[in-house]
Amino acid sequence: MERYTVRHEFFGGLVYDRNQDANILIDDEFYELLNYLKKTNEKDISHILNLEDIDFLKQEKFLSDNKLNYRMVDSGFKENTLSAPGRVHFYYTSKCNLNCTHCFTKNSDVKREMTFSEKISMLDQMYELGVNEILIGGGEPFIQSDFPDFVEECLKRNIITKVFTNGLLLNDKKLVERMSKWSIKYLSISIDGADEEEYEKVRGIKGLQKIKENLKYLKENCDFTIAASITVNPYNYYNTKKILELIADFGFDRLKVRPVKPAGNVLKNKDIFLTAEQYASFIKNTQKIWNRQYKEMFTLDFSWGDTRLVYNKDKNQVEPLDITYPYEGYGCFAGKVNIVFDSGGNALTCGFLPDDLSKNNEDNLQFKSLKEIWETGQKFESLRNVKGNKVCENCKYYSVCRGGCMARNLFINRDINLPDPWCLNKYLPIKIDFT
């Protein structure tokens, strides 16, 4: 299995590092070098490169045991945007064993779910285009008996696989035995409550004790990372201490924190939508307690829309992760890095944008290829041409934000070109006081 996938892009190339689960942007010169080496399959490159360049290729494992440790993908490129998605979000089924207050797929109107062979065709197209990552959720994917088969098909194609579940169905010994052979990146289990009462408010039934029992058996048999995912909402944002106690008690490896988004059931019940001040307060309290008590037990990740947040220990503050976006222009990852497919094969630019903006039934894997949808889909083209605004363009955080979450912006401002109401410049950095 090659460590790297090198994709031709308008800026040069996009290198996916499978070991680090990271994308690296390279310029034209480095792309052409890697492409030349692959095409000529030179065994001795000492007459082509100087020793410094050879040492670099060996150090970064592009060249390992005199073999090239990467594959090249060139499907043509589009100006100012990626030639293919950076990742696929896939709602494996719309069926679920819960009825969560914040569910963003609950309004799904899928009439016919994709067949298993159609799903496998999607994976083949991903591999051909150099799409190296898939995030699979639902609904509840483990409801479908063929879901383990699908995960294994992902892994056969060396696709980095991340699975999202409510964890209630993971009590079958044969299933767990099968999962023990998986090399997925992580399994993420939604929690959303610090006790059974909070959990039931959000998810409709009691389930925490069952998750704890299932998690114990999973950890005894599986080597992959198991994360807890918390969607912060008015029912749980004040209960930081108990949430962290639960994560430690259950034995999770990681805690992923995100705010509730304005989609699905939230549109019917706006009382469960969170304010930026409430979310910032949750982050501040969580980071403070985690640093003092839990940093040796599990890792902690925050997101603010598409923007990942990190803790800067030198400044004692939570701040945006400094990244380089692999596209030009205004707007978040929707339709520019990410593509979403619901269980019927409908392509969406984002799972949280309203259907009238995000979904176009003609952009469906039953009728079009992944490449055609990405390159010519009407909704994708529209989002790549939003104008934005001067306030965002002149902001110090523009390079890591690009205007913020368009779904939240549309929900609150009713205009996708305005600054995100949760503007990073207004709420970040979040100072952590340890006194």
Of 41-45, 59-63, 273-277, 314-318, least confident by mean pLDDT is: 41-45
The Cα–Cα gap between 404 and 402 comes to 6
Average pLDDT, the chain: 92
Beta strand 430-431 pairing with 317-320 = antiparallel
How large is the average pLDDT for residues 133-148?
Answer: 97
Q: Is the pLDDT of residue 106 over 60?
A: no
The Cα–Cα gap between 260 and 279 comes to 9
Sequence letter at residue 367: F
Residues shown for the chain: 435
Question: Distance between alpha carbon 111 and the CA centroid of its chain, in Å?
Answer: 26
CB 54 within 8 A of CB 46: yes
Q: Is the pLDDT of residue 361 over 90?
A: no
Q: Is the pLDDT of residue 140 over 90?
A: yes
Q: Is the pLDDT of residue 401 over 80?
A: yes
Q: What is the pLDDT of residue 108?
A: 61
How large is the average pLDDT for residues 45-68?
Answer: 84
Q: What is the pLDDT of residue 435?
A: 75
Strand partners for 259: 232
**Structure tokens of 71?**
């594959």
Query: What are the DSSP calls for 65-93, one per residue?
Result: TTEE-EEEE-S--BTTB-SS-SEEEEE--
Q: What is the pLDDT of residue 190?
A: 94
How large is the average pLDDT for residues 43-61?
Answer: 80
Q: What is the pLDDT of residue 307?
A: 94
Q: Is the pLDDT of residue 375 over 90?
A: yes
**Structure tokens of 59?**
């150090």
Closest CA to 179 of 147, 146, 222, 215: 222
Q: Over the Cα atoms of the chain, what is R_g?
A: 22
Q: Is the pLDDT of residue 103 over 70?
A: no
Strand partners for 300: 255
Q: Is the pLDDT of residue 44 over 70?
A: no
Q: Is the pLDDT of residue 97 over 90?
A: no
For the chain, what percent of residues have pLDDT higher than 70? 94
Q: What is the pLDDT of residue 360?
A: 59
Q: Is the pLDDT of residue 265 over 80?
A: no
Q: What is the pLDDT of residue 46?
A: 67
The Cα–Cα gap between 4 and 244 comes to 36
Q: What is the pLDDT of residues 181-235, one digit of tens each?
A: 999 999 999 998 899 988 888 888 889 999 999 999 999 999 999 999 999 988 8
The Cα–Cα gap between 122 and 131 comes to 11
Of 143-147, 346-350, 359-363, least confident by mean pLDDT is: 359-363
Of 97-101, 132-136, 229-233, least confident by mean pLDDT is: 97-101
Entry pTM? 0.94
How large is the average pLDDT for residues 403-408?
Answer: 92
The domain segmentation of the chain, as residue ranges, is 4-73, 82-434
Q: Say which CATH architecture domain 82-434 belongs to.
A: Alpha-Beta Barrel (3.20)
Element housing 362 (H / E): strand 359-364
Sign, Cα dihedral of 314, 315, 317, 323: negative
Q: What is the pLDDT of residue 359?
A: 58
Strand partners for 5: 16, 71
Helix residue ranges per DSSP H, 157-239 = 173-179, 196-203, 208-221
How large is the average pLDDT for residues 64-90?
Answer: 93
Closest CA to 150 of 320, 294, 341, 387: 341
Q: Is the pLDDT of residue 352 over 90?
A: no
Query: What are the DSSP calls for 93-153, one per residue?
Result: -S--S---TT-SSTT---SSPPPHHHHHHHHHHHHHHT--EEEEESS-GGGSTTHHHHHHH
For residues 255 and 107, the model is more confident at 255
Q: What is the pLDDT of residues 148-177, one digit of tens each?
A: 999 999 999 999 999 999 999 999 999 999
